[in-house]
Amino acid sequence: MNLKRKKVMVTGGSGFIGSHLIKKLLELQVKVDNFDLSLGFDIQNSKQLKMYIKKEYDAVFHLAGFSGSVISNKDQVKSFRINSLATVNLCELICKYSPRTKLVLSSSRLEYGNPQYLPVDENHPTIPTSAYGLSKLIATQMAQNYHKRDNLDVTIFRTSNVYGPHQSS
């Protein structure tokens, strides 16, 4: 996908991955909107999200989330509200107000749970062992459902042990 001079939204764009992504997109001359809680934009706020999606982006990189197994297990409701329900709402809004938008959904290798074999590939069973892994699996499956039902153009990527320059501890 050539994004030069395209219009892109990044949810969670002030986070570790998002900030690096936005930096690279700007180098590629992409017009970028950062939809991030630190800027007053809450992925759970349907009105805010709708206002942005109506701008009809060429792509939305959905990185916003409530991350981490331990913290998600302590506040499971929050984990599912942010990771699952907000993603469903995002898919719904894109299908309704911007159906040509490409959704790039960030997920996690924790969807797989404990490895049953190595290397873990896309055919590996998904048996999450945390609320976080399950909330991300639900988001992934719902995005796939929107793809099948409404032709949502979606790419899902699962990360594992992301690290690099400027990482907070």
Indicate which residues carry an active-site annotation.
132
Q: Are 143 and 101 contacting, i.e. CB atoms less than 8 angstroms apart?
A: no
Q: Are 53 and 98 contacting, i.e. CB atoms less than 8 angstroms apart?
A: yes
What b/e string do you get for 6-16 counting C-beta neighbours within 10 Å, with b at 16 or more?
bebbbbbbbbb
5, HSE (Cβ side, Cα atoms, 13 Å): 0
Q: Residue 48 burial by CB count (10 A; 0-12/13-18/19+): exposed, middle or buried?
A: middle
CA distance 114 to 60: 30
| Tokens standing for residue 165 | 């320059």
In angstroms, the Cα distances linking 168 to 15, 17, 54, 65, 123 are: 10, 11, 33, 16, 32
